Structures are given as structure tokens and as C-alpha cells.
Structure 1
Amino acid sequence: MLTVKKVLNNNVLIADHPEYAEVVLIGKGLGFGKKPGEQVAGEIAEKFFVLKEAKEQEQYKQLLDYVDESFIGLMNDIVEIVEERFKVRLHEHIHIALTDHLFYAIKRVKQGLDIKNPFLPETELAYPKEFTVAAEIIEYISNELNIAIPEGEIGFVALHIHSALTRRSLQEVNRHTRLISELVQVIEDSLQLKIDRKDVNYLRLIRHLHHVIERINNGQYMDNQDSLKKVLQSEYPVCYNLSWKLIKIMQQALKKAVPDAEAVYLTLHLQRLSKQ
């Protein structure tokens, strides 16, 4: 038996759990007539998950004002799929953020509105595992609700999954994705070419940029390539100068210094791309 702490509605309540502390219990009629301090049998709940912080509990309560219980149940199945695929316990906020996002995404689809995602290729390249699971989730929802959800939504769900796995805010993850898209546009404009998004050199560049951003943010960038800088500056002046333009954009966006060594790596990537 668990002790009721807070009733969110007739079907959802927060209770004290002997192992997980505060948990959210979901089940038809589970909260009806219940009051704080009363006992409730945990096994009659259809779903339960941990939602520790008071702020998260309040946000979840607001979510229940416009999201019906059947969709809440579907979302908990989805979170379980993600946790099973990655063998982790996700940050509790995904129950709120992903539920809210998908609820409105599906609402737009039902209204006949298209979902466009200009960062879909970059997201797949940067987070391939998250993207694969997101594709599985979108297919699962489409089958459960008998609705055709556009492919672009896979990218958005992948970002939510990555945010929950890394405990980084979705805003930060989105900023990095947009930054890389901006860098690619600068490269295309400067070299006057249209990059083939399936080209292996493009794939390497995108992965490299994501890796660089993470290392800079974590303060783990320690490379030194002084011996190569002068050689590349002489051999490939256009790509070398462009590499510094990209570095300045990254520094402004990240508000952190990008080591000079990055000019070497970027120049090599740009030179491969310029051969197109």
C-alpha cells in the first residue's frame, strides 16, 4: 500500500513509494474520492513513474488540464520504449516536455497542417541512435492513433530524447542544431556550392562539428596543431580563411573561445567538400 500525497485528477495521483519516494500513479478512477494521507494499492495502477520535483509535478498537473488520460497512457508506453532501448532511467522532465510537444504536433496533423523540419538531416547525423528510436516511436504512435505523422517529426522527437539522455535543456540542444545549420549555409555561400547531404565528407563534417561543440562546452578541447596551420594556410588559403570565419561564428554563438587548432581540422574538411 502507498500513501496518497496529492490528487491531480480522478485518474492520476502522486503517492509515497517505499523505494522511489514520490511517484505518479495512473489508472482509471484511481484518484476518485482519495485524500492526502489515505492508502492506495500500487498494483491497481496501470502505470507509474517517478516525478520528484515540485516544479515538475505542477507542470504535469497543468498538462492534465488539456491532455486526456488515454494519451498520457500512450506517452508512458513511449517513455518506457526509450528507456528500454537505451537501458537508462530518463530525466523525469521528458514526461512533460515530450507529452506536450507530441500532443500539439498530433493536433496540427489532424488539422491538416504540415510539419516542416529544416534540420532533419543534421539531426539524424548528429544523433543516429536517438533518431532510430524516434522513428520507432513515430511509427508506434501512427499505428496506435491511425494517423500519418510526417517524417520531420522524427527529428524533433530525437532532440527530446537526446535532451533527456544528456540532461541538457532542449533549448541548448536546439541552439546547437541551428548553429550547425548556419555554419553549413555559410560554407555553401562562401564556396559557392550546394553540398550533397549524402556525401560522406558532409557526414564527417557534421559529426565533427557536433563533437567540437560538445568538447568546447565541456572544456575538454586541448589539441595543438601549430605545425600544420602554416602549411594549410599556404596550400588552401580559401578554405583556411573560411575555417576562421566559422570559428568566429561558433565563438559568438557559444560565448566561449574556440582553440586555434580547430582551423586545421575545419580546413581539411572544407577542402574535401570543395572538391565537389
Structure 2
Amino acid sequence: MIHVKKALNNNVIIAEHPDYEEIILIGKGLGFGKRAGDIVAGERAEKFFVLKDTEEQKQYLKLLEYVDETFIEMMDAIITKIEERFKVELNEHIHVGLTDHLFFAIKRIREGLGVKNPFRKETELAYPKEYAMAEEIVESLSDWLKLHIPEGEIGFIALHIHSALTNRELAEINKETLLVADLVEVIEENLKIKVDKKDMNYLRLVRHIYHTIERVQAENYMEEQEALKKVLQEQYPLCYNLSWKLMKVMQQKLKRPVPDAEAVYLTLHLQRLTKK
């Protein structure tokens, strides 16, 4: 049985749980009319968001000092929509991370401060499902708040969704995004080009690099292509050597071995860029 310890507002209550001791329950109308000692077990169960982690609770309580009930209700609807779309229970940190991010992002937009996201396109390529969900969220927020939200914000929201879906720290995901940006810089320097980020060859290359990072992290290596490797080495020495340089950068940043087979696929993508 879960008993109310304190109703913080109409949407948030502090409760006593037999297994987790003190928890925070979040849900639309969950705290309305509730008093200390009231039982909440089973009531609006589908709306319960339980913050069990003590540190998460502290951060969320700090959020409530400046985030109003209407915004909490809006976030409740957004997070419910994400869970329904992906049919999973999200990592509870999203209640803190995404709420905090969106509250201050909207505050900055209302103050006329711009939203810059140089990696928006790369984020869309890396996490297309999360990005599509983020687009819907931005559209809903714009309607609710009667506010134009810049396109760059979609990428930031997508990263929060991906973090909650994969139980990975946002900082870790951002490191991968920065790694891709570093690799693109190395490519431009070595090929003496300025890539067009709308070019299909660039988009394919970036998508491949993200997949390579995922495979390296998961130690899911591709088969060797010895015959093709020799042909590419002879025909496209510049791109082939550059592919190895990129692999060394990845290896240093990820602190994991990058298999030789990646040189073949990277060379092919790089060659398409030089043709363009």
C-alpha cells in the first residue's frame, strides 16, 4: 500500500512506499484533494511516474520550486506520449532532465535568445525515431504555448529521449556527437573540401560513422573484406589512408579497438564525397 506523505501540488505527491520508503509520484491530478495518510495504490496507476532514486528526488523537488503546475502537467502528457510510442518505461531521469531542459529553453526563447544546435542534422541521422518523436513534441509545445520553437530544439529533445530509452548518460551520447563532428573536421582538412550537410553522400557517411560507433561499443564487428581492401588501397590511396586516420581517432576517443574491416566501408563513403 502506498500512503500520501505530502501533496506538493495537483500533479505531484510525496508518498511512503513499503519497498522504497519515500518516493515521488507524478501524474495529472494525482495530488488533487489528497491529504497525509490517504492511500493511492491502484489509483490512476497508469499515470504513476515513480522517482525512486534519492538524488533524482532531490533534483525534482528543486525543479518544483520554479516550475509551475501547468508545466508539470504538460510534461506529464509529453512523457506519457513518449512511453506509449516506444512501448517502454523510460529511465526516470527524463522527468528531471527533460523538464529542466524544456523549462529553461522556453524561457530563453521568450526572452528572445536564439537556440543554436550545430549537430541537429547529425542527431536526426543517428536517432531518426527519437527525432520524429521530438518533432511532434515541439509541434505540441508550440500549439500549447502559442510560441515558435526553433528547429534546433528538436535535436536536443531527441537526445533526451534517446538517453531515457537506452539508459545512457546524456553526456556520453553528446561525446559521440562531438566525435562525429571531429571526424568530419578531419575529413574536410584532409580532402580539402567543405562538405555540404544536405548532400546525400555526406548524410550516408555520417549515418555509417554512427553505426560504426555503435558496433565498436557493442563489439559487434563486421567481416573482413581482404580482396576489396587491396583494390581500394590501390585505386583510392588518399581516401584509404584517410579512413585509417579516422579509425585511429575513433579508437582513441572510444578507447576500444576499431576493426580493420571498417577501412573498406569508410573508403567507399569518402570516395563518393571526393567525386561530389
Asked if 2 retains the 8 angstrom alpha-carbon contact of 1:17 and 1:23, the reply is: no
Give the aligned partner of residue 226 of structure 2.
226
Instruction: Tell me, yes or no, if structure 1 residue 39 matches structure 2 residue 38.
Output: yes
For residues 118-197 of structure 1, what are the structure 2 equivalents within 5 Å? 118-197=118-197
Question: How far apart, in 2, do the equivalents of 1:207 and 1:18 lie?
Answer: 47
One-letter code aligned to 1:30: G
Q: Is the 8 A contact 2:13 2:30 kept in 1?
A: no
Query: Given the superposition, is the C-alpha separation of residues 133 and 196 from structure 1 closer, same or farther in structure 2, using an over 3 Å criterion?
Result: same
| Cα drift, residue 122 of structure 1 | 0.6
Q: 1:30 Cα shift? A: 3.0
Shift of 1:235: 1.0
Q: Which amino acid aligns with 1:24?
A: L
**Local SS of the residue matching 2:188:** helix
Q: 1:264 to 1:211 in 2, by over 3 A?
A: same
Give 1:93 deviation, angstroms.
Answer: 0.8
The residue type equivalent to 2:6 in the other structure is V
Is this contact kept in 2: 1:180–1:206, CA < 8 A?
A: yes
Change (3 A) 1:142 1:55: same
Higher alpha-carbon deviation: 181-190 or 155-164 = 181-190
Whole-Å Cα distance in 1 between the matches of residues 66 and 33 of structure 2?
19
The residue that corresponds to 1:82 in the other structure is 82
- What CA distance in whole angstroms lies between the structure 1 residues aligned with 2:109 and 2:258? 41
Q: CA deviation at 1:183?
A: 1.0
The 3-state SS of whatever aligns with 1:39 is coil
The farther-off stretch of 50-59 and 253-262 is: 50-59
**Map of 1:271 onto structure 2:** 271
TM-score by length of 1: 0.89
- Which shows bigger deviation, 228-237 or 132-141? 228-237
Check if 1:13 corresponds to 2:3. Answer: no
Post-superposition offset of 1:236: 0.5
Q: Report the alpha carbon displacement of residue 134 of structure 1 after superposing the two structures with TM.
A: 0.3
Task: Name the residue aligned to 1:24.
Answer: 25
Gaps of 5+ in 1: none
Relative to structure 2, which stretch is displaced further, 169-178 or 187-196?
187-196
Deviations 1:23-69 (A, max 9, x none): 5045669388844xx12456489953122222222221121122111
Kept after mapping to 1: 8 A contact 2:59/2:96: yes
The worse-fitting range, judged by mean Cα deviation, of 193-202 and 212-221 is 193-202
Q: Say whether the 8 Å CA contact 2:24–2:57 is kept in structure 1.
A: no
Identity of aligned residues (%): 59
What secondary structure is seen at the aligned counterpart in 2 of 1:15? Answer: strand
Show the counterpart of 2:202.
202
**Aligned partners of 1:133, 1:251: CA distance in 2, in Å?**
32
Deviations 1:235-273 (A, max 9, x none): 111001111111111111111111111111111110111
Q: Please tell me whether the aligned partners of residues 236 and 271 of structure 2 are also in contact (alpha carbons under 8 angstroms).
A: yes
The answer to which of 251-260 and 132-141 deviates more is 251-260
The answer to whether the 8 Å contact 2:7/2:35 transfers is no
Tell me, in whole angstroms, the C-alpha distance in 2 between the residues paired with 1:29 and 1:259: 52
Which residue number corresponds to residue 50 of structure 1? 50
RMSD: 2.7
Shift of 1:17: 7.0
Output the CA distance in 1 between the equivalents of 2:236 and 2:46.
63
- 1:9 aligned partner, one-letter code: L
Rounded to whole Å, the distance in 2 between the matches of 1:203 and 1:128 is 12
C-alpha distance after superposition, 1:52-95 (max 9, x if no partner)? 22222222112112211111111111101111221221111111
- For 1:254, the aligned partner's letter is L
Retained in 1: the 8 A contact 2:28–2:76? no
CA contact (8 A) 2:180 2:209 kept: yes
CA contact (8 A) 2:67 2:103 kept: yes
